[in-house]
């Protein structure tokens, strides 16, 4: 299944041109290796309204199955990506963030400082990933196996049930 992905990098310094966006391109390459289409990508500062507006517009466009954000999920004062995401989603999907944190804890104790969120707006899944390229890729690897099935469920694809395990 080919997914349509929106990729939103959230970084004050990258938005100001003080440093290159390293996470966005790294994620883009990993997603393309899955055979998935990058339908939209953007870079915004750590600004609540900019993040919220972009997420809402992308999800409401019906042009993306999944929106992945990178950056703004930590403890710093400007890290407000989870709050902007929660303002946009209609239904939370906490299992994705929980799975990413659990897997990351096997790598670093700093994973417990992640405030990443995940949820659904309309038929679009939105997932926050960390801002560092390495952590973003590690977290993406955790959720890649379930993203196609999640999209099937959101699209109410009748074949989605065929992949459920029989008791």
Does the pLDDT of residue 140 top 90, yes or no? Answer: yes
Query: Looking up tokens 């990351």, which residue turns up?
Result: 104
β-pair partners for 126? 67, 119
- 29 Ramachandran zone, left/alpha/beta (phi>0; psi -120 to 50): alpha
142: containing domain: 4-158
Residue 163 is assigned to a structural domain of this protein: no
Residue 46 is assigned to a structural domain of this protein: yes
Does the pLDDT of residue 166 top 60, yes or no? Answer: no
- Distance of alpha carbon 69 from alpha carbon 72, whole angstroms: 9
Q: What is the mean pLDDT of residues 93-117?
A: 98
The structure tokens listed for 103 are 């897997």
Q: What is the mean pLDDT of residues 109-135?
A: 98
Does the pLDDT of residue 162 top 90, yes or no? Answer: no
Quote the number of domains for the chain.
1
Query: How far is CA 154 from its chain centroid?
Result: 16
Q: What is the mean pLDDT of residues 104-114?
A: 97
- The pLDDT value recorded for residue 165 is 63
Check residue 103 and report its DSSP letter: H
Does the pLDDT of residue 167 top 60, yes or no? Answer: no
- Return mean pLDDT, the chain: 96
Residue 18 is assigned to a structural domain of this protein: yes
For the beta sheet containing 124-129, the strands, ordered from the edge strand earlier in sequence to the opposite edge, are 37-44, 4-10, 66-70, 124-129, 118-121, 91-92
- The pLDDT value recorded for residue 134 is 97
Q: What percent of the chain has pLDDT over 70?
A: 97
Residue 125 is assigned to a structural domain of this protein: yes
- Distance of alpha carbon 102 from alpha carbon 17, whole angstroms: 33
Residue 164 is assigned to a structural domain of this protein: no
Residue 36 is assigned to a structural domain of this protein: yes
Q: What is the mean pLDDT of residues 40-68?
A: 98
- Distance of alpha carbon 161 from alpha carbon 167, whole angstroms: 13
Residue 114 is assigned to a structural domain of this protein: yes
Residue 167 is assigned to a structural domain of this protein: no
Through-space distance between the first and last CA atoms of the chain, rounded to whole angstroms: 25
For residue 96, which phi and psi values (nearest 5 degrees)? Answer: -65, -50
- The pLDDT value recorded for residue 51 is 98
- The pLDDT value recorded for residue 160 is 83
Domain holding 56: CATH number? 3.40.980.10
């Amino acid at each position: 299944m080919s997914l349509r992905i929106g990729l939103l990098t959230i970084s004050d310094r990258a938005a100001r041109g003080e440093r290159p966006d390293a996470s966005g391109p790294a994620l883009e390459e990993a997603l393309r290796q899955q055979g998935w289409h990058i339908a939209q990508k953007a870079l915004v500062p750590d600004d609540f309204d900019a993040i919220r507006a972009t997420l809402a517009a992308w999800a409401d466009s019906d042009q993306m199955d999944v929106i992945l954000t990178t950056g703004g999920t930590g403890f710093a004062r400007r890290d407000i990506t989870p709050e902007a995401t929660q303002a946009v989603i209609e239904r939370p999907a906490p299992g994705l963030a929980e799975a990413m944190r659990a897997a990351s804890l096997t790598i670093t104790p700093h994973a417990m400082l992640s405030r990443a969120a995940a949820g659904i707006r309309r038929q679009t899944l939105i997932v926050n990933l960390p801002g560092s390229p390495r952590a973003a890729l590690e977290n993406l690897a955790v959720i890649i196996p379930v993203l196609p099935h999640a999209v099937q469920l959101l699209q109410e694809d009748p074949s989605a049930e065929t992949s459920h395990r029989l008791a």
